[in-house]
Structure formats: C-alpha cells, structure tokens
Structure 1
Amino acid sequence: MTELILGVLTFLTSTVAGVVGIGGGMMLIAILPSFLPLNALIPVHGLTQMSSNFSRAVFGYKDVQYEVIPKFLLGSIVGIGIFAAIINFISLEYVPLFIGAYILLSLWSQKFNDKIKKFENYYIIGFFQTGLSIVVGATGPLTMTILLKDYKDKDKVVATGAALMSITHILKVFVFMYFGFVFFDYIGIIVAMIIGAVAGSWAGTQLRDKIDGKKFTIILKVLLTALAIKVIVDVFI
C-alpha cells in the first residue's frame, strides 16, 4: 500500500515539475518523512528525482541547451568531491538562508544582478548546487534562477534545468552508495516512485504546451519566490 501511495504522490509532484521545471522535488521531500526513516530520506529522494529529471530532459531533448552541460558538470564534480570530504567538519545550519536570499535577490533586484553577473556562471552554480545537495534539499532553484535569465523560451528553461539537475542527483546517488547506503533495502518503494516520476514527467511535458511564455515566467518566478521564502523561514523554525 505504501508503494502505491508513494507512486501516486511522486506522479503528481513530477507532473508539477514537468510543467514549470521545479517544485516537485521540494513537495516530495516534505511528504516523505511520513513514509520513510530519516536515514533513507535524502538517498531515496535523490534517486527518485534523478529519474524525474532525467526523463524530463529526455522528453524535451530537442530543447536542452547542451553547451552549458560541460561547465555545470565540471563544477558539480569539484563541488561534490569537496563537500563530501569536509561535510563532517563544517556547520551547514545557515546555508539554506544564503540560498534563499540569493534566489530572492536574483529574481527581484536588478542592482544585485548587475553586480553578480561577473561571478555568476554554470561552473559556480554546479559547484554549489551539487556540492550542497547532499545535505540541503533546496539547491535546485539555483539552476532555474540562472536559466530564467539566460533563456526566454520555457521549454529550453525546463529541459535544460532537468538535464543539469539530473547531474546533481546522479552524483549525489553515487556519494550515498560510497557512504554505504543500501538502496536495495527500499527496492519496492523505489520502483514505484520511479514509475510515478517518469509518468509524471511525460504528463507535465504535455501540459506545459498549454501555458504561454509570459504566464510561465510569472508562475516560475512566483514559485521560486515561495520556495526561497520557505527555505529561509525553515532556518528559524
């Protein structure tokens, strides 16, 4: 019964992500503590999100902007290597606060964007998004924030974001395997959630065509803003 419920919930959250490119993963990680022990939460979520994002990128492969992938991948490999090595020696308590503030300023402050331009690139975004993903659940918005500035076409934003987030989740899964997490212990739940994730990606890709570009940008900005505020508030609760 748990497998069926999680499969359906993953389908719904993956559909949301398929339409606007983000939000599904955060919705899912908010639900999972009711069904999984804490030590399994981030690994199982990571594997499911890998399936959701990778399938979304495959369904939209014509819109993926492949030129940004090598930059993001290099930054990601360096980031996850460094963070995996030092994770036990640093306090990450206030990292979500800085992520949330960065997203809000990036979305709504032109002065901030003018100053950050020379430093903001896919190497750095990959480094922080993937490196911090092993401990912080809300790094996905970093990618979507920069893509929203670089590309005006909604399909390019969603498909490229999915490809980049696939890299983050694939590397994260390898790290958890290295640290000894046994995914096979949760194989029934994982299979059900992967089926739901892929089906949701397909459904979301079909539904995305129903939204025009301007509405999509507004929806994505509002959703990113809400997620950023949630991340900041969670630090203090």
Structure 2
Amino acid sequence: MPVDQLLTVLAASLAAYALAVLSAVAGFGGGVLLLPVFTALFGLRVAVPMLTLTQLSSNASRVWLNRGELRWRLIGWFALGAVPCAVAGGLLLAHAPLGPLKRLLGVFLIGVVVWRRFNPHPRRPADPAFAAVGAASGLGSALLGSVGPLTAPFFLAYGLTRAAYIGTEAASALTMHLAKLGAYGLGDLLTADILVYGLALTPATLAGAWTGRKLLTRVGDRFFVRLIEAGLLVSGVLFLAGF
C-alpha cells in the first residue's frame, strides 16, 4: 500500500475509534461526526457507503455487548419501516440533492432538544410508532450516511436508558445498514476500494465499541440523557453547517 494511502487509512482508523467510543456511550453521534472526516478524506459519494460499512461493524459489536438488554418488539417495528425506505434511499443516493435535506435535519434535531426542555416528560410512544421512526431514519440514513440522532428522542421517550437503549438502538440500526448496503451494491456505489477500506477500519470500530462499553457502566442515567442531548445539538449544528 502506498504511503499516502496508508496515512489516509491511519487517520480514518483513529477517527473511527474515537467516534465508536462516543457511539458506544451515547448510542449515536459517531456516524454524524465521522461523516465530515470521511468526506474530507474520500469525497461524499464514497464517504456515505464507506461510513455504512464502518457503522455495520460498530453497531454489530454494540448489539453483542448489550445483547441481554435488547427490546426485540421495538427492533421488529423499527425494521418494518426502515428496511424498505433504506433500500429506496440507497438507490436514490447517486442523484439526490443532499444539501437541503441536511439543513432540514439540522433544524429538526435542534428543535427536538428545545422541545425536550419544555416537555421533559413526553408521552411514551406506542410500539407501532417505531415503524414510522424507522422509515424516516432509513431514508435519511441512506442519503446522508447517518441520522442516528433522529431516533434518540423516541427511544428515550420510550424509557430506555444505558445498555437497553444502546443495544436496542444499535440492533434497529443494524437492520437498516444491511438494507442500505444491498441498495448501494445494486447502484454500483459499493466498489472494491470501499470494501477494502471498510474492512481496514473494522478493528478500530470494534476496539472503540469495547472501550465505550466499559465507560458506559460508569455513567449515571441523568448524565446519560444530558450527553445525548448535547450530541443532538452538535449534530444539528453540523448538519446546518453543511457537513
């Protein structure tokens, strides 16, 4: 491997490790923050499918590490909406105008935090509502690479925290990422180079997920929710800024 390519993989691996730790503790945020890094290194059209490969290993490891706390009914409802919409979004990626969609999502995420401040005890959503959450998340994730913060308010309102939240959100996202990869393959976006890079980054994401799991046991529920809300604000600002 040429030196410049090796340095690129090293930089991407360091970023993937750090943000996998964040995802393992907060349940989201790693993908949103990793997308600008991958875009700078590889370009947007390559960054989105490559990010999906990275998220696949990261989410799978979080599912395994938190397997005893999974809420399977929610995962099933989420997948019902997420899988078909993720496939549709993956096929649209080559032609979709991503800029306006990012800014709209940024406004939504910041609005969610403001809404939570005025409504700190929202009504618990019914299980079938997660089909709609999955549909919106699947479409947005396929086009933007990661919209993990979009699902956070709904899992929190359901009452999930810590391991139950991390594992259930990761398992739900895993069904979506598998569908996205299939769509990217059909759309000729999943090239051999992207697969090689994705495999090269897998050890970093697995190590980050393990480290984050260890840190999670030391985080209280109150701090956990505050951390997620901070992640929502940062993610919203990044989307508004066009990253």
- Please give the range of the TM-score, normalised by the shorter of the 2 chains: 0.7 to 0.9
Give 1:191-206 correspondences, 5 Å limit: 191-206=199-214
Aligned length: 235
Tell me the percent identity: 19
What are the ranges of 5 or more consecutive residues in structure 2 without an aligned counterpart?
Answer: 1-5
Q: Choose which of 190, 193, 196 in structure 1 pairs with 2:198.
A: 190
| 2:54 is the alignment partner of 1:48 | yes
Output the TM-score relative to the length of structure 2: 0.84
| 2:34 is the alignment partner of 1:28 | yes
Q: Secondary structure at the match of 2:42?
A: coil
Task: Please give the alpha-carbon distance, in whole angstroms, between the structure 2 residues aligned to 1:10 and 1:95.
Answer: 24
- Which residue pairs with 2:79 in the alignment? 73
Q: Secondary structure at the match of 2:219?
A: coil
Q: Choose which of 106, 111, 121 in structure 2 pairs with 1:105.
A: 111
| 2:169 is the alignment partner of 1:156 | no
Contact 2:25/2:213 (CA < 8 Å) preserved in 1? yes
Q: CA deviation at 1:44?
A: 0.9
Task: Please give the alpha-carbon distance, in whole angstroms, between the structure 1 residues aligned to 2:61 and 2:136.
Answer: 23
- Which residue pairs with 1:133 in the alignment? 141
Instruction: State the Cα deviation string for residues 80-132 of structure 1 (Å, max 9, x = none).
Output: 34445666786554323332333333333257x979968x9211111111112
Contact 1:44/1:190 (CA < 8 Å) preserved in 2? yes
Instruction: Pick closer, same or farther for the CA change 1:181–1:216 going to 2, 3 Å.
Output: same
Q: CA deviation at 1:152?
A: 4.3
Deviates more, 1:203-212 or 1:23-32: 23-32
Q: CA deviation at 1:187?
A: 4.4
Contact 1:143/1:164 (CA < 8 Å) preserved in 2? no
Q: Secondary structure at the match of 1:135?
A: helix
Q: Choose which of 203, 217, 239 in structure 2 pairs with 1:231.
A: 239
Deviates more, 1:78-87 or 1:206-215: 78-87
Q: Choose which of 220, 229, 241 in structure 2 pairs with 1:221.
A: 229
Task: Please give the alpha-carbon distance, in whole angstroms, between the structure 1 residues aligned to 2:125 and 2:163.
Answer: 24
The letter of the residue matching 1:131 is L
| 2:173 is the alignment partner of 1:173 | no
Task: Please give the alpha-carbon distance, in whole angstroms, between the structure 1 residues aligned to 2:89 and 2:14.
Answer: 33
Deviates more, 1:194-203 or 1:165-174: 165-174
Instruction: Pick closer, same or farther for the CA change 1:198–1:115 going to 2, 3 Å.
Output: closer
| 2:12 is the alignment partner of 1:6 | yes
What are the ranges of 5 or more consecutive residues in structure 1 without an aligned counterpart?
Answer: none
Contact 2:125/2:157 (CA < 8 Å) preserved in 1? no
Output the TM-score relative to the length of structure 1: 0.86
Q: CA deviation at 1:41?
A: 1.1
Task: Please give the alpha-carbon distance, in whole angstroms, between the structure 2 residues aligned to 1:233 and 1:39.
Answer: 18
Give 1:139-150 correspondences, 5 Å limit: 139-150=147-158
The letter of the residue matching 2:222 is K
Deviates more, 1:12-21 or 1:76-85: 76-85
